[in-house]
Amino acid sequence: MTLRPDLAIIAAHVARGSRVLDVGCGTGDLMAALRDRAGVDARGLEIDAVKVADAVARGLSVIQGDADVDLAGYPDASFDYAILSQTLQTARAPHLVLDHLLRMGRRAFVSFPNFAHWRVRLSLLWGGRMPVTRLLPEEWYDTPNIHHVTIDDFRAFLRTRGIVVKRAWFLSGDKEIGGAAANLLAEHAVFLLARNHQG
């Protein structure tokens, strides 16, 4: 199975045999890849019951729940990595979700669509309409993406919350690009984060 590009980046950088919580795991594609290729002990949280059933039916440990509500029940420092892929922008309180990720996990992977990509900017600037793109395919009224965020917003946000970027990857199309003009050129970003007191 081919993983979505952001998931492929995450999968390639999770250490073998580690413990992982995938928040918003969907049907468990990343979890299954981590389990099968790297012997990872993967747990998942997913809000959609049908997706949870799919994931459980493939033998994964997935709990139906809401990242905004149910992360509080997980103990501190219980995972090597907490992963939030394409889910940050759907959270009611993304800042609190991120706090939980770095409370439960030693490190956190966060991936999200960049709202400052040039195609999004053009759509607003020339069309005067809310952008509907490949990564943000829903109309404004039925989108689950209620907290649009740009790469520069996210970087500034991490600075104010004392979170360190261990590594970042930027994607245009499905190809990796450099970080220099990422806020304009990247459709998609993946960050590996840690609390600043950690080495």
Partner 1 sequence: MSLACLSDDQRFGLSRRVSLPGPLRLDGGATLSPVEIAYETYGTLDGQAGNAILVCHALTGDHHLASPHPRTGKPGWWQRMVGPGKPIDTNRFFVVCANVLGSCMGSSGPASINPATGRAWGMAFPVITIRDMVRAQALLLDHLGIARLAAVVGGSMGGMQALSWAATYPTRVAAAVVIASTARHTAQNIAFHEVGRQAVMADPNWRGGDYYDGEAPARGLAVARMAAHITYLSEAGLTEKFGRRLQAREAKSFGFDADFQVESYLRHQGLTFTDRFDANSYLYITRAMDYYDLAEEHGGRLASAFEPATRFCLVSFDTDWLYPTAESRAIVQALNAAGAPASFVELSSPYGHDAFLLESPELDRIVAGFLGA
End-to-end CA distance of the chain: 35
- Regarding 132 and contact with partner 1 (CB under 8 A), the answer is no
Binding mask 44-63 for partner 1 (x = CB under 8 A): -----xx-xx-xxxxxxxxx
Q: What residues contact residue 87 under an 8 Å CB cut-off, 6+ apart?
A: 23, 24, 67, 97
Using rule CB under 8 A, residue 75 touches partner 1: yes
Nearest approach in angstroms of CB 145 to partner 1 is 25
The token pair that represents 59 in the structure block: 């033998």
Interacting residue with partner 1 among 8, 38, 65, 194 (CB under 8 A): 65
Nearest by Cα to 112 from 12, 31, 187 = 187
Helix pair 29-38, 5-13: axis angle to 10 deg: 30
Q: Which stretch binds partner 1 (CB under 8 A): 64-72, 109-117, 127-135, 170-178?
A: 64-72
Beta carbons within 10 angstroms of residue 21's beta carbon = 26
Taking the complex as a whole, how short is the minimal distance between the CB of residue 60 and partner 1, in angstroms? 7
Among the listed residues 2, 16, 73, 137, the single contact to partner 1 using CB under 8 A: 73
CB of 112 to partner 1, least distance (A): 25
